[in-house]
Structure 1
Amino acid sequence: MTNSAAISAYWDAAADAFDDEPDHGLRHETTREAWTACLDAWMPPTAADVLDVGCGTGSLSRLLAEAGYRVTGVDLAPRMVDQARGKFLAAGLEGRFLVGDAANPPTEQDGFDVVLSRHLLWTLPDPDSALRAWISRLRTGGTLILVEGRWREAGQTGRPYVAGAETLPWHRGIAAEDLAAAVRPLVVDLRVEDLSDKPDLWGHPVSDERYALIARV
């Protein structure tokens, strides 16, 4: 089984090049606009408190802050959090970023209107527990947004992932129907949106399964 120190070290080492991926850095206008359109469709229509778990370098957090949402980001890798903070500072945006376990966010008793997670569940030793923890952070009527898939490769950086990754419950991702089955007992309703046929989100066409699960508590 993997351990948090190894996972943190892996993503710390990946931080400098992380934004080179089109869907990570959102540096190209077409990719940024594609993610903005998706978030507009998934998010509540009014300003809300958002918890971005596994926020990485904060690219989605930035889009949300620019749209007027109040964002808290959590990531296990300190260098990822440093980059997210720097991104907000450079843009003159307000946001809170915490170093901690995204599976059990260190947000005290804070409640949120939205919990957002992108491409995180495959890295977690206990994803079912993480789902319960995230939902517990949501206020009544809140929204859980999970952007997930079944990956051709386990790592998202081109480097072999940490030792023991093959023992992770959702190693290489999880199919939409399986994630929906895990989430459905915990929420009031949910829907799944296919993202595999939207190359602008990824910066290129993809052949694996990618989707968003949007649920309400």
Structure 2
Amino acid sequence: MTELTSAITDYWDAAAPAFDDEPDHGLRAERTRAAWERLLRAWAPSHPADILDLGCGTGSLSVLLAAAGHRVTGVDLAPQMVRHAQAKLAAAGLTGRFLVGDAAAPPTGAERFDMLLCRHVVWTLPDPQAALREWVGRIRPGGRLVLVEGRWGETGQTEPLPYVAGAGSLPWSGGVTADDVAAAVRPLVADLRVESLSGDADLWGRPVGDERYALIARL
């Protein structure tokens, strides 16, 4: 583990206890939960599917997917996040598998999935291009890659939001535009589309002024 990766792990471990206080993390408000449930229903297969949730955090999206009948595997670098996710699914009476590991190289062996979901993670990766290639290799033919990302900070803000020391060296530090992600993903997939998510305040628990979007690709 590199010094930067260790710092990122420590950062998210420390953030885990209060992580769900953010409306779009904990999904405690009914309107926010319903907004994400609606999106996941549109993005996920209509039949029970194997879904890999990378950078799963405390498992809020995993809960929604499991409740919809999908078989969910969550991966997060931070052990405390994984513990919270396990507890959250157990409390909901749902089943899922959660693993501590690097989202860039998920510890799932040769398994393949019908959908790979990743929310707000690619900007934290030292080599996002390599991770995208790795992820596409984890998806079954005809499967889907769903990336929920953004360029963090309100309109007009020139500096990225504070993060761990050394994060300025990350290729997509502070978030990444939809155009840049689409350019990286397009050669790896059969087709893709981008959905803007900035205008739906219910998703975030408040209006936002930065760029937020989902990229949905088909292999």
Sort the TM-score into its range (normalised by shorter chain): over 0.9
Q: TM-score, normalised by structure 2?
A: 0.95
- Residue in 1 aligned with 2:30? 29
The 5-angstrom pairing of residues 1-217 of structure 1 reads: 3-152=4-153, 154=160, 160-217=162-219
Unaligned regions of 5+ residues in structure 2, if any? Answer: 154-158
Q: Given that residues 11 and 80 in structure 1 are in contact (C-alpha distance below 8 angstroms), is that contact kept between their aligned partners in structure 2?
A: yes
- Using the TM superposition, give the Cα deviation of residue 143 of structure 1 relative to its aligned residue in structure 2, in angstroms: 0.1
| Deviation (angstroms), 1:177 | 1.0
What's the C-alpha RMSD, in Å, of the aligned pairs?
1.1
Q: Which residue type is aligned with residue 202 of structure 1?
A: W
2:156 matched to which residue of 1? none
Q: Which amino acid aligns with 2:97?
A: R
Cα distance in 1 between the residues matched to 2:185 and 2:165: 28
Alignment check: 8 A CA contact 1:190 1:214 kept: yes
Matches of 1:6 and 1:149, distance apart in 2? 22
C-alpha distance in structure 1 between counterparts of 2:46 and 2:89, whole Å: 22
Q: Is the 8 A contact 1:61 1:73 kept in 2?
A: yes
CA contact (8 A) 1:149 1:174 kept: yes
Q: TM-score, normalised by structure 1?
A: 0.96
1:85 match: secondary structure: helix
What is the CA distance between 1:76 and its match in structure 2?
A: 0.3
Q: Counterparts of 1:213 and 1:166 in 2: how far apart (Å)?
A: 24
Which deviations, in whole Å up to 9, do the C-alpha atoms of 1:93-135 show, x marking residues without a partner? 1100000001100001111000000000111101011111111
> Relative to structure 1, is the Cα distance of residues 72 and 120 closer, same or farther in structure 2, using a 3 angstrom cutoff?
same
**Higher deviation after alignment, 195-204 or 36-45:** 36-45
Moved more, 55-64 or 1-10: 1-10
Distance 1:40 1:22 in 2: 20
For 2:184 and 2:131, locate their aligned partners in 1 and report how far apart those are by CA, in whole Å: 11
CA distance in 1, matches of 2:111, 2:184: 25
Residue identity in the other structure for 2:84: Q
Q: Aligned AA for 1:191?
A: R
Secondary structure of residue in 1 paired with 2:83: helix
Q: Is the 8 A contact 2:4 2:167 kept in 1?
A: no
Question: What is the rounded CA distance, in whole Å, between the counterparts of 1:16 and 1:38 in structure 2?
Answer: 26
* Identity over aligned pairs, percent: 67
Corresponding residue SS for 1:134: helix
Aligned to 2:195, what secondary structure does the other structure show?
A: strand
Q: Which amino acid counterpart does residue 127 of structure 1 have in structure 2?
A: P
Does the aligned pair in 2 maintain the 1:196–1:208 contact within 8 Å?
yes
Task: Name the CA distance, whole Å, in 2 between partners of 1:120 and 1:102.
Answer: 8
Supply the AA of the counterpart residue of 1:60.
L
